[in-house]
């Protein structure tokens, strides 16, 4: 009798466990969406991979590089988390990709696998249509109208600009007086002065990156501090090298500012890896592998070395500057 009761108790526990796992699996759902299913050549839209899940559940999004499919390119990506207002135990995690294409056509976006503790879930497939700009060839082309002739004499012009003429005459007189004055002064022998050149932006960045590596922060479990300092170094370099604002800017805004800069696609990808991983660590509590931590600083060093600005040495002299 005792054995039978014990057996029934084990069966009850097994059934309860199965129902619990099934309920948790049903609480996780995935989907894929396009902000715009039809775009023109060169326009941008967003592909969103959305996971509805319990807060404590962890999911693994697919790793996508710089190309989505075919001739559809990925410009940037980010992960956002929104908590359910009615149930704080539920959350929606969205990985967004900014995509574009410069070739007309219809592109089938496949379903993507998203791993979770309960198994692998697949998103729905999508279709992206890229259209060219339509030109109406039936309408006639009109020539530009010629300008109308208006009588305007020198005296008319002088009445309108007499103040500037007076200022110009005054400037000429002052300049002539200054030239006469300095010519009357005894000539002073030019003294060559060595001026210490400013430290280039890439030198500062490389020194800071080496110092960051020597700290060995991520090896001491200070991963967030490591990626924060790495992101700050790269942002400071970009601001000095390309004269853009990077502080208090998102990664998407930085890449938008660098869109027309002369940067090879290979190094754009490396910069994207450094900044995106730093964002994931700081804001999404991502825990990268040691190889990813080392890859970030290697990509940062490579990016700075390959995009550094050519230096022109100058020698300052009293009364002028001479290029050496």
For tokens 């994931």, the residue is 280
For tokens 């995690």, the residue is 93
Give the pLDDT of the chain (324 residues) as one tens digit per residue: 555 555 555 545 555 544 444 444 457 889 999 999 999 998 999 999 899 989 888 888 888 888 888 889 999 989 998 888 888 888 889 989 999 999 888 999 999 889 887 788 889 999 999 998 776 667 777 677 777 777 878 888 888 888 998 999 999 999 988 888 888 877 666 666 666 778 888 889 899 889 989 998 889 989 899 989 988 999 998 888 888 888 888 989 988 988 888 888 999 999 999 999 989 988 888 889 999 989 999 988 999 898 888 765 554 444 445 444
Domains and their CATH numbers in the chain: 29-131 (2.60.40.10), 201-307 (no CATH)
Q: Is residue 157 classed as helix, strand or coil in its secondary structure?
A: helix
Encoding tokens for residue 268? Answer: 């754009």
Q: pLDDT by residue (tens digit) across 112-149? A: 889 887 788 889 999 999 998 776 667 777 677 777 77
Query: Which stretches does DSSP call E strand in 266-319?
Result: 314-317
Q: State the pLDDT at residue 7.
A: 56
Quote the CA–CA distance of 33 and 47 in Å, as a whole number.
6
Quote the CA–CA distance of 74 and 71 in Å, as a whole number.
10
| C-beta neighbour count of 208 within 10 angstroms | 19
User: Cβ(226)–Cβ(218) under 8 Å?
Assistant: yes
Q: State the pLDDT at residue 126.
A: 92
Encoding tokens for residue 158? Answer: 């002088």
C-alpha Rg value of the chain to the nearest Å: 32
């Amino acid at each position: 009798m005792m054995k039978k009761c014990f057996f029934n108790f084990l069966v009850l526990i097994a059934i309860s466990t199965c129902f619990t796992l099934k309920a948790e699996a049903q609480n996780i759902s995935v989907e894929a969406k396009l902000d715009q299913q039809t775009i023109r050549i060169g326009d941008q839209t967003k592909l969103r991979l959305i996971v509805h899940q319990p807060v404590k559940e962890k999911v693994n999004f697919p790793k996508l590089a710089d190309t989505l499919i075919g001739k559809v390119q990925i410009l940037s990506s980010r992960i956002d988390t929104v908590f359910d207002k009615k149930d704080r135990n539920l959350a929606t995690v969205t990985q967004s990709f900014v995509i574009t294409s410069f070739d007309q056509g219809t592109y089938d976006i496949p379903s993507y696998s998203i791993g979770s503790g309960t198994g692998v879930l697949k998103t729905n497939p999508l279709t992206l249509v890229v259209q060219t700009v339509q030109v109406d060839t039936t309408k006639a082309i009109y020539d530009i109208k010629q300008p109308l002739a208006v009588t305007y004499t020198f005296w008319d012009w002088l009445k309108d600009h007499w103040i500037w003429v007076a200022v110009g005459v005054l400037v000429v007189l002052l300049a002539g007086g200054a030239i006469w004055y300095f010519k009357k002064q005894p000539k002073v022998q030019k003294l060559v002065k060595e001026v210490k050149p400013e430290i280039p932006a890439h030198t500062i960045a490389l020194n800071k990156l080496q110092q960051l590596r020597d700290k060995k922060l991520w090896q001491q479990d200070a991963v967030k501090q490591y990626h924060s300092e790495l992101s700050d170094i790269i942002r400071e370099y970009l601001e000095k090298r390309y004269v853009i604002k990077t502080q208090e800017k998102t990664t998407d805004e930085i890449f938008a500012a660098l869109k027309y800069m002369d940067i090879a696609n290979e190094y754009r990808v490396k910069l994207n890896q450094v900044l995106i991983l730093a964002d994931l660590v700081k804001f999404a509590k991502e825990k990268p592998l040691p190889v990813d931590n080392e890859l970030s600083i290697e990509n940062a060093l490579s990016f700075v070395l390959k995009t550094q600005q050519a230096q022109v040495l100058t020698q300052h002299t009293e009364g002028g500057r001479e290029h050496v």
